Structure 1
Amino acid sequence: MAVWPAAEPRRVQIELAALTPIPEVVPEDRSLQDAAIAASEISLDNAWQAETIRIEVEPGDTLSHVFDRAKILPTTLFRMLNSDKELERRLVRLQPGNVFEFQRLDGQILSFTLHSSRIEGIQVTLNDDATVADWEAFTNEPTRMTRWASGTIDDSLFLAARDAGLSDTMTMNLAQLFGWDVDFALDIRQGDEFTVIYEELYVDGEYFGEGRILAASFVNQGNEFHAIRYTDQRGVTEYYDAEGRSVRKAFLRTPLEFARISSHFNPNRRHPILNTIRAHRGTDYAAPTGTPIRAAGDGRVVEARYNGGYGNVVVLQHGQGIRTLYAHMSRFGNGVRSGVNVRQGQIIGYVGTTGASTGPHLHYEFLVNGVHVNPVTVRLPDAQPVHSESREDYRQYAQTMMTHLQSARNSVASAALSLNE
């Protein structure tokens, strides 16, 4: 993998405790001035004497457990939470590994910081009576290093991606990026190629995780697809191909990720249970029970119920006279019921074997103006292209990113490149 230099990160400095300022006095009043200086010196000394108590959240911990381990009176916790309900809502969402840092002086809490991750947290300052004086959520921007990886598929996308140094999460993101054009359950062939330019995140010089995909290409059966991340002049961020068309389609090609097609769209198929010739008006995807099923596109739920041979079924009504159907679910997604709106990619249910089914799978139908069409081959409508005001800027940016993709693809060894050429 090659590494490009990245811009210096924007650091957010958090002040843990405010020092008591010297009271303003008139210069003529020397006694008041001397008293103010003395008070200042005392407050400075006390501030430096404040102790820091570090508590890491353990499995099963509640907020009261953490405060008790820090030897903070329950009344302090009660007064703090009672004085700011929004802060209470944020603090109670504790996860194992979260870290509290308390600033305490003479048994009284001055302030504390909750580190919910290595880059995010909440800083809280308390009054003398333990009520909340101020609090602020903060984010320390990580250092972003730009890297690339390229590979050729021999057995599977996951194995090829691992050989190229990509994590399974990044591989999933790559597959989702091209999921509108490539059916990863059906279309993948030996010899297919991928190239991805992406970010790695570092905090204080230590690896933190993977960031965004900046650009990628995928060659499937000789057809090359591209995706370039771009933010237009309005602040809208999307992925586009080399010509500025949106990578995202109005519909996903498949509602399951990495499932196997067990039965194709076939108007003359023999039914496996009834043993009669009956049209199979959809595509069956074999997958383990409980596999999430995603809405193929934005739409309204017009049916979410048990329906005979379909078992638990969800039917979505989309624009342009399009309707999609998802059958044999083990259960419905949270909040999925007739009349609600859903977004593309939202989980609407889970694979099961309810109704007339011989095993766990999803039966998926795609209807246009009431007519069943093959979900695998139907031409999917595009989303909006690059905004007109940003087309020239995007054209130049896309040329640069395409050059880097080609360089990464052709390289046989790691090479230092610059995105700012």
Structure 2
Amino acid sequence: GLNSPFNEYLFKITLLFLIVLFPCCYSTSDSNLSDIETEEIELKCGTIVKSGENIDFILQEMDVESNERYKITLCLKEYLDMKTCMPGDSIIIFKDISGNFKRFEYVKNPFLRFEVSKIDTCYKAEKIEIPPSIAISYVKGTISSSLYESILKIGESHKLVFDFADIFAWVIDFLTEVQNGDTFEIIVEREFYKNRCIGNKKIIAASYKGEIGEYYAFYFKDSEEKEDYYDKEGNSLRKQLLKTPLQYRRISSYFSLRRFHPILRVVRPHYGVDFATPYGTPVSCVGDGHIVFA
């Protein structure tokens, strides 16, 4: 074993041999030292933009001289609207070994950053965009309660639910016409960054099959850049009337001739349908018309 006196002695001899050997192997004469190219060392310092901070203040906190700060912000104005600087954005400063400014980076997200480089006495700004990689995914599921819960149950996002419902909003009322056992299929573009999915881009094709029938949607963009969804016969899914007046959420109270009023605490007719949505949700008119009372 290694703990035996002989092996411990042999280990120490071997270690000493390596220490002596390797400097000799990599030694070089003074005449050849000038031929060895050394990589320039950069010092990197970064921070996260906080509420109430601006670029000039942050650069000052990072010990960037006033003259440098002025030239950096002046160059950035060509590419970056200072009003779009938001908390959570990143700022990175690069300096040489002597502490002289070399490069500035303002990172909005993994795909967009703004860079100011100093070359001698000149400053150059640049907008750098790195598009995410796109992949096609296939999603399939069966309705077990509501469309919303069924899509979330298979690990998909809220956004995919709303995008899917919006496509069929003219032909299907997902709040009242969905039945357990109905099926849906979705082909969707996903964005990836470093092999990690960061979100959905757009739905390319989709279908919904159930007791209400079979419905298909195919994405198409024409020569005039108009985008829309069409059925198998090439007809637009947009009809004269929407099935619901706002983006798919949930119904909190249905039409009924005998409903227990939650405030008055009495049974009375409810001649309408109440939709539960977050504050600020856009409401769409289900069709063309004239306002007669408001």
State TM-score, norm by structure 1: 0.50
Paired residues of 1:53 and 1:102 also in contact (CA < 8 A)? yes
- What is the CA-CA distance between 1:145 and the residue it aligns to? 2.2
Paired residues of 1:55 and 1:101 also in contact (CA < 8 A)? yes
Distance 1:162-1:263 versus aligned 2 partners, 3 A rule:
closer
Match of 1:72? 64
Match of 1:154? 144
Paired residues of 2:142 and 2:181 also in contact (CA < 8 A)? yes
Q: Out of 82, 85, 97, which is 1:93 matched to?
A: 85
Match of 2:253? 262
Q: Out of 164, 167, 173, which is 1:174 matched to?
A: 164
Q: Secondary structure at the match of 1:102?
A: strand
Paired residues of 2:76 and 2:114 also in contact (CA < 8 A)? no
Q: Out of 192, 198, 202, which is 1:212 matched to?
A: 202
Q: Secondary structure at the match of 1:293?
A: coil
- What is the CA-CA distance between 1:153 and the residue it aligns to? 0.9
Match of 2:55? 63
Structure 2 counterpart of 1:118, one-letter code? P
- Provide, for residues 314-338 of structure 1, a one-character-per-residue CA deviation record: whole Å limited to 9, x for no partner: xxxx8xx6236897xxxxxxxxxxx
Paired residues of 2:254 and 2:270 also in contact (CA < 8 A)? no
Paired residues of 1:197 and 1:215 also in contact (CA < 8 A)? yes
Distance 1:237-1:49 versus aligned 2 partners, 3 A rule:
same
Q: Secondary structure at the match of 2:173?
A: coil
Which ranges in structure 1 are unaligned for 5 or more consecutive residues? 1-40, 298-317, 328-421
Q: Out of 277, 288, 295, which is 2:284 matched to?
A: 295
Structure 1 counterpart of 2:161, one-letter code? T
Q: Secondary structure at the match of 1:116?
A: strand
Larger RCO (alpha carbons 8 Å, 6+ apart): 1
Structure 2 counterpart of 1:154, one-letter code? S
Q: Out of 83, 95, 110, which is 1:104 matched to?
A: 95
Q: Secondary structure at the match of 2:156?
A: coil
CA distance in 1, matches of 2:62, 2:292: 55
Structure 2 counterpart of 1:322, one-letter code? G
- Provide, for residues 142-197 of structure 1, a one-character-per-residue CA deviation record: whole Å limited to 9, x for no partner: 22222211111121212221333322221222112212222222222222221111
- What is the CA-CA distance between 1:126 and the residue it aligns to? 4.9
- Provide, for residues 330-379 of structure 1, a one-character-per-residue CA deviation record: whole Å limited to 9, x for no partner: xxxxxxxxxxxxxxxxxxxxxxxxxxxxxxxxxxxxxxxxxxxxxxxxxx
Distance 1:278-1:141 versus aligned 2 partners, 3 A rule:
closer
CA distance in 1, matches of 2:232, 2:79: 46
State the superposition RMSD in angstroms: 3.9
- What is the CA-CA distance between 1:249 and the residue it aligns to? 4.1
CA distance in 1, matches of 2:124, 2:291: 53
- Provide, for residues 381-404 of structure 1, a one-character-per-residue CA deviation record: whole Å limited to 9, x for no partner: xxxxxxxxxxxxxxxxxxxxxxxx
Q: Out of 318, 323, 328, which is 2:290 matched to?
A: 323
CA distance in 2, matches of 1:102, 1:286: 50
CA distance in 1, matches of 2:41, 2:62: 14
Q: 1:185-196 residue pairs with structure 2 within 5 A?
A: 185-196=175-186
Structure 2 counterpart of 1:49, one-letter code? E
Mean CA deviation greater in 209-218 or 121-130: 121-130
Q: Does 2:188 match 1:198?
A: yes
- Provide, for residues 25-82 of structure 1, a one-character-per-residue CA deviation record: whole Å limited to 9, x for no partner: xxxxxxxxxxxxxxxx9xx98xx53625241415435424532343213443334334
| Number of residue equivalences | 251
CA distance in 1, matches of 2:83, 2:40: 27
Q: Secondary structure at the match of 1:295?
A: coil
CA distance in 1, matches of 2:133, 2:144: 34
CA distance in 1, matches of 2:235, 2:104: 49
Paired residues of 2:49 and 2:90 also in contact (CA < 8 A)? no
Match of 1:300? none
Q: Secondary structure at the match of 1:174?
A: helix
Structure 2 counterpart of 1:133, one-letter code? K
Distance 1:293-1:164 versus aligned 2 partners, 3 A rule:
same
- Provide, for residues 116-141 of structure 1, a one-character-per-residue CA deviation record: whole Å limited to 9, x for no partner: 111222233457668x53332x3222
Larger Rg computed on CA atoms: 2
- Provide, for residues 281-311 of structure 1, a one-character-per-residue CA deviation record: whole Å limited to 9, x for no partner: xx442426725132337xxxxxxxxxxxxxx
Q: Out of 255, 274, 277, which is 1:285 matched to?
A: 274
CA distance in 2, matches of 1:203, 1:289: 31
Q: Out of 101, 107, 116, which is 1:115 matched to?
A: 107
State TM-score, norm by structure 2: 0.68
